[in-house]
Chains A and B, each alone.
Chain A
Amino acid sequence: MSRTARLRLFLTAAAVLAAGLIAAAGELPGFGGPQHPYGERAVAAGLAQRTANIVSSVNFDQRAFDTLGEESILFASVLGAGMLLRLARDERKRRPAAEPVLPTTRLFGATLLPITLLTGGYLVAHGQLSPGGGFQGGVVLATALHLAYVAADYLVLKRIRPLAVLDVADALAAGAFAALGLIGLASGAGYLANTLPLGTFNQLSSSGLVAVVNATVGVEVGSGVVVLLAHFLDQAVEVVPRRRSR
């Protein structure tokens, strides 16, 4: 199909889609209105389970089974990217050279790396209490490690990044989520049901299963993002074709 024909086809389809979307927007409940029946029920259920952060309660308790699927997508895509970006037969690894860095940049990285690691750990640990949780905290943890790449160079990042450990941690955390669901099953409720002791509201030990599952997700997201970025950085920095000419 030629480019103009394709564009014309798209514009026709887009007009129909836009008309449908406008009609649908008119039928939706008004923006900012007070009616949120699902939200109110979720808040009541979350408070009953002594979870202060209702978003965490929804993710790791009320629809924990969905989150298990989501987390499996994450694991599968880390695995898939690793498969796609592995060293091919006609490629080899080159040793990356050390790069000069401004002393101010180095200071920036050296100062912020421990602070960012601490923030990430805090976000994961307090996922059931404060805004944040395993997903967000995990990404912050992975970002912290890559400050070494920004402030120093790839060699330093490689040295402080225990890739083999993180690979295993990623898989173990993904499996741990599925295994934790069996606690509910063993106590006669349902798979992934929150049957652990709920603790005191607004304490670090509150919310039962939510805190534990949240921690496994934090480990999985953190190590998954580091592994994923490692594959991409390898492609950019280390992997070169064996012969220059095609």
Chain B
Amino acid sequence: MSVLPYLVAGWILLAGLYGLVTSRDLVQAVGCLAVAQSSTYVLLLAVGYRRDATAPVFSDLPPGSPVVDPVVQALALTDIVVGATVTALLLSLVIQLRKRHGTVDPEELTGLRG
């Protein structure tokens, strides 16, 4: 099954999106967004994986030995940093929402309030 890791990434994405759609709690929704985003880590690392290869760090490896793709690893790192900061920003928005409206249920947030 050489496509299984890609399908796993797709499954995680859909599971996260399902959570986002059905969530009754904004903190949970932020968590689901993080789940959906983590599918990209799986996808990136699956694309970069190479059999019988090791980490792309040549401090104790002879040059020329097979290594996994460093480009997608760097992209996954970017992804993690951006994901973490966006999660932090969204959670602070939820905290403010809870203070001003007294609820974190998206369906109870109907009208605009000053």
List A residues at the B interface (Cβ < 8 Å): 3, 6-7, 10, 14, 17-18, 21-22, 24-26, 28-34, 36, 38-39, 42-43, 46-47, 52-55, 57-59, 63, 66-67, 70, 73-74, 77-78, 80-81, 84-85, 88, 129-131, 135, 202, 221, 228, 231-232, 235, 241, 246
Contact = CB atoms under 8 A, between A and B. Distances in A.
Nearest to B80: A135
27 contacts: A10-B17, A10-B22, A17-B14, A17-B17, A21-B10, A28-B6, A32-B49, A34-B51, A42-B56, A42-B69, A47-B63, A52-B57, A54-B56, A54-B70, A55-B74, A55-B77, A70-B78, A73-B86, A74-B82, A81-B88, A81-B92, A131-B57, A135-B77, A135-B80, A202-B59, A232-B88, A232-B92
B18 A30 contact: no
Given A73-B85, A77-B89, A14 B17 contact: yes
Contact of B59 (A3, A52, A85, A246): A52
A239 B95 CA distance: 12
Contact of B71 (A28, A42, A135): A42
Q: Is the interface of B mostly helix, strand, loop or mixed?
A: helix
Given A7-B21, A43-B67, A28 B92 contact: no
Contact of B69 (A28, A38, A77): A38
B109 interface: no
Interface string B2-20: 1111110010011001100
Contacts of A130: 57, 59
A33 B56 contact: no
A82 to B, nearest CB: 9
Contact of B92 (A17, A43, A74, A84): A84
A135 B81 contact: yes
